[in-house]
């Protein structure tokens, strides 16, 4: 009897042990060791011959000695290259994604499309953004909370893309004529302080991480920069965002909206051309981030026919780029903090980091200093 009782116990124990080992084996995360000739760690150190040890999808450590490579690790040799941590693009529109379907201008592709469809195809732009080395984006304006859907899908591992911080609808003033019997469009339209407060609360209730406000005209092929929101409206939006612990990004193509946005306490200022010296000084004093988004206008010039813009905007846009660069030069000299923002839309995903290269090349070269404020 005894052996009879003992044997099944042993067999059971053996199965359990086998089961544990099998489970450990399947749970064991693959280890990779990536060699870089140089590695900038964003903590002030430039490594030579660095080895990055990755377990599963997490970096475990960085070493300079080959003995740190665990037995059985897959070694990937990128020693011809310099490595750096994932970059942050602080101004994208991930849900305004299109392809280059021949004969179908991008502007047409984005009109009246089903949000479910958009979120699904936008995964391609998310992937391209990631492949460009951008592992985090701040997405500044989407319809129907498609940005929130993308953010959550990425966070759950259902979609591959950069970590997203999103704003829902950007706030903007009434810009459509009144039509009797037709409801005003939903979303971010808000006029006057009470409506602004309500619109900010609506975005936060929907799950926004950050607030976006359009304080001037200017977008796509329109490079006008007339101020739209008043100082009081901006101040109300800033206060309400901050009350909920959220940051706010204010868009202004021109100097007037920029001046009031900075004084209202915006955390970042987007685009902002022709700023006066006092505003630039104020940004430096307050630590307001400047996101000049210069490269998106270059993208528009390169692709205007595919997008579907009418001919004739090129001269104005070229002049705007020059003024944008000049403003960035002055801001850099004054010690303003910069952040890299591509304003990527349509097929621009994957070109996210060109904004940074262009700033360094054209705005800072003559300032005699390196990109001191560009550690995003």
Nearest to 173 by CA among 197, 195, 189, 196: 189
> What six digits make up the tokens of 359?
């700033």
Those residues with Cβ within 8 angstroms of residue 219's Cβ, 6 or more apart along the chain or in another chain? 253
Burial of 276 from C-beta contacts in 10 A (0-12 / 13-18 / 19+): middle
Judged by beta carbon, residue 47 or residue 139, the one nearer Zn ion is 139
Name the residue with tokens 């003559």. 366
Interaction residues for Zn ion, span 331-370 (CB under 5 A)? 343
Minimum CB distance to Zn ion smaller for 39 or for 307: 307
Q: How many residues bind Zn ion (CB under 5 A)?
A: 1
Q: Which residue is nearest to Zn ion (CB)?
A: 343
Nearer to Zn ion, 221 or 343 (CB): 343
Return the number of the residue (39 or 148) whose C-beta is nearest Zn ion.
148
Please tell me the number of Cα atoms within 13 Å of 51 on its side-chain side: 17
CB of 345 to Zn ion, least distance (A): 7
CB of 196 to Zn ion, least distance (A): 19
Determine if 139 is a binding residue for Zn ion (CB under 5 A): no
In the complex, minimum distance from the CB of residue 251 to Zn ion, in angstroms, rounded to a whole number:
7
Give the nearest distance from C-beta 268 to Zn ion in angstroms: 12
Instruction: Please report, for residues 19, 22, 180, the alpha-carbon distance to residue 14 in angstroms, rounded to integers and kept in the order given.
Output: 8, 12, 78
Q: Does 89 bind Zn ion (CB under 5 A)?
A: no
Q: How far is the CB of 225 from Zn ion (least distance, A)?
A: 14
Of the pair 295, 343, the CB lying nearest Zn ion is at 343
Parallel, antiparallel, or unpaired for β 289-291 and 337-338?
parallel
Query: CB 141 → Zn ion: shortest distance, Å?
Result: 6
- Give the x-and-dash track for 290-329 against Zn ion (CB under 5 A): ----------------------------------------
Shortest Cβ distance from residue 140 to Zn ion (Å)? Answer: 5
Q: Which is nearer to Zn ion, 343 or 376 (CB)?
A: 343
Note the helical H segments in the chain: 2-27, 106-109, 115-121, 123-131, 146-155, 192-206, 231-243, 255-264, 277-286, 294-307, 314-333, 354-358
Over the window 197 to 216, marking each residue x when it contacts Zn ion by CB under 5 A and - when it does not, the resulting string is --------------------
In the numeric block, which tokens belong to residue 94?
């991930």
The closest of 188, 164, 193 to 176, measured between CA atoms, is 188
Question: Based on CB atoms, which residue is closest to Zn ion, 83 or 341?
Answer: 341
Catalog residues that contact Zn ion under the rule CB under 5 A: 343
């Amino acid at each position: 009897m005894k052996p009879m009782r003992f044997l099944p116990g042993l067999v059971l124990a053996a199965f359990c042990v086998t089961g544990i080992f099998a489970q450990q084996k399947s749970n064991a995360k693959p280890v990779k060791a990536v060699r870089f000739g140089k590695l900038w760690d964003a903590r002030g150190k430039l490594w030579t011959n660095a080895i990055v040890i990755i377990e599963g999808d997490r970096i475990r450590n960085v070493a300079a000695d080959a003995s740190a490579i665990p037995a059985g690790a897959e070694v990937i040799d990128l020693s011809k290259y310099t490595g750096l941590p994932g970059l942050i693009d602080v101004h994208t529109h991930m849900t305004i994604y299109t392809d280059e379907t021949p004969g179908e201008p991008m502007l047409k592709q984005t009109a009246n499309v089903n949000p479910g469809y958009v979120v699904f195809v936008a995964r391609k732009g998310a992937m391209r953004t990631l492949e460009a080395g951008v592992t985090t984006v701040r997405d500044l304006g989407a319809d129907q909370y498609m940005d929130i859907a993308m953010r959550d899908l990425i966070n759950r591992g259902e979609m591959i893309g950069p970590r997203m911080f999103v704003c829902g609808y950007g706030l903007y003033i009434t810009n459509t004529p009144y039509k009797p019997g037709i409801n005003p469009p939903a979303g971010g339209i808000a006029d006057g302080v009470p409506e602004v407060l309500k619109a900010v609360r609506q975005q936060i209730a929907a799950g926004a991480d950050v607030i976006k406000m359009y304080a001037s005209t200017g977008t796509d092929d329109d490079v006008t920069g007339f101020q739209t929101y008043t100082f009081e409206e901006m101040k109300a939006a800033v206060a309400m965002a901050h009350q909920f612990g959220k940051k706010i990004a204010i868009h202004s193509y021109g100097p007037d909206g920029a001046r009031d946005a900075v004084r209202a306490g915006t955390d970042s200022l987007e685009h902002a051309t022709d700023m006066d010296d006092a505003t630039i000084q104020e940004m430096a004093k307050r630590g307001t981030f400047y996101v000049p988004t210069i490269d998106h206008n270059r993208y528009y010039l390169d692709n205007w026919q595919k997008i579907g813009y009418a001919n004739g905007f090129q001269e104005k846009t070229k002049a705007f780029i020059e003024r944008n660069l000049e403003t960035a030069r002055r801001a850099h000299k004054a010690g303003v903090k910069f952040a890299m923002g591509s304003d990527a839309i349509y097929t621009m995903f994957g070109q996210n980091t060109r904004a940074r290269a262009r700033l360094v090349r054209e705005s800072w070269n003559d300032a005699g200093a390196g990109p001191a404020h560009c550690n995003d």
